[in-house]
C-alpha cells in the first residue's frame, strides 16, 4: 500500500452547505475504501489563475493509504462531480519526507546589501595629488610685487 495525497478545489460560488456536502462525500469515500485517511480543509482561497471563469475556490486535502485501484476510482468520482473544478492525486514519497525532516537546519541567509558593487572597484584608485611645479598665479603676482618694491 502506498500513501497518497488528494488535493481538490470546489467552485467557490457555491454556498457552504453545498461545499460541506461535497467534502463529506469525498471524506466518506476515503474513509470507507482507504486506511489512515486524514482530511485537512484549507478553506476558501483565491485561485492562482482563472479556472472555468472562476477566481476563487474551496480547497480540501485528503491524505490516505490505499491500493492503486481505489485511486483510479477516486479520480473518476472527482472528474464526474461538476462542483470540483480542479484536483490532483500524488504519491507521497515517505523516504524523502523523512530525509527532509532529519536534515540539518541551514543557517538563515544574510540580508541582501543593496547599492553595493560586488564586482570590485570600477576605476583604479585615485592618483596621488600632483606636486606643485609652477607657482600659482597669486604667488607669482605677489612675488613680482615684492621684487618691484625691493627695486625701488
pLDDT reading at 83 higher than 80: yes
Mean pLDDT of 19-47: 86
122, part of any domain: no
Whether residue 115 is contained in a domain is answered as no
Residue with cell 466518506: 28
Q: Per DSSP, what are the bridge partners of residue 11?
A: 57
Q: Can you give the length of the chain in residues?
A: 152
Q: What pLDDT shows up at residue 106? A: 82
For residue 48, what pLDDT band results from cuts at 50, 70 and 90?
Answer: confident
Residue 54 resides in a domain: yes
Q: Across all residues in the chain, what is the average pLDDT? A: 81
86 found inside a domain: yes
- Within-domain flag for 63: yes
Angle at the Cα of 42 from the Cα atoms of 39 and 43, rounded to 5 degrees:
120
pTM to 2 decimals?
0.61
Q: What is the pLDDT of residue 151?
A: 64
In a domain, 52, yes or no: yes
Residue 78 structural domain: 2-102
Task: Kindly provide the residue ranges of all beta strands, DSSP E only, lying in 52-110, ordered along the sequence.
Answer: 54-66, 84-91
Q: How many domains does the chain have?
A: 1
Query: What's the CA gap between 59 and 81, in Å, rounded?
Result: 15
* In the predicted structure, residue 14 carries a pLDDT above the cut 70: yes
The answer for residues whose C-beta is within 8 angstroms of residue 55's C-beta and 6 or more apart is: 12, 46, 47
84: helix, coil or strand?
Answer: strand
Domain membership of residue 111 (yes or no) is no
Residue 125 placed within a domain: no
Tell me the pLDDT band of 34, cut-offs 50, 70 and 90.
confident
In the chain the first and final C-alpha atoms are separated, in Å, by 119
Domain harbouring 36, CATH code:
3.30.70.60
Q: Please check whether residue 24 is in contact with residue 86, taking contact to mean a CB–CB distance below 8 angstroms.
A: no
pLDDT digits 0-9 by tens, 89-147: 988 887 777 777 777 888 888 887 776 666 666 666 667 777 766 656 666 666 676 66
Amino acid at each position: 500500500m502506498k500513501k497518497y495525497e488528494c488535493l481538490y478545489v470546489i467552485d467557490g460560488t457555491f454556498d457552504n452547505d453545498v461545499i460541506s456536502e461535497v467534502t463529506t462525500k469525498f471524506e466518506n469515500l476515503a474513509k470507507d475504501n482507504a486506511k489512515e485517511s486524514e482530511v485537512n480543509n484549507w478553506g476558501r482561497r483565491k485561485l492562482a489563475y482563472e479556472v472555468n471563469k472562476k477566481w476563487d475556490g474551496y480547497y480540501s486535502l485528503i491524505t490516505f493509504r490505499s491500493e492503486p485501484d481505489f485511486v483510479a476510482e477516486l479520480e473518476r468520482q472527482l472528474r464526474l462531480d461538476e462542483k470540483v473544478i480542479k484536483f490532483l492525486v500524488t504519491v507521497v514519497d515517505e523516504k524523502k519526507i523523512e530525509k527532509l525532516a532529519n536534515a540539518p537546519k541551514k543557517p538563515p541567509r544574510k540580508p541582501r546589501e543593496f547599492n553595493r558593487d560586488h564586482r570590485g572597484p570600477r576605476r583604479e584608485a585615485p592618483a596621488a595629488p600632483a606636486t606643485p611645479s609652477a607657482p600659482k598665479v597669486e604667488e607669482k603676482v605677489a612675488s613680482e610685487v615684492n621684487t618691484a618694491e625691493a627695486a625701488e
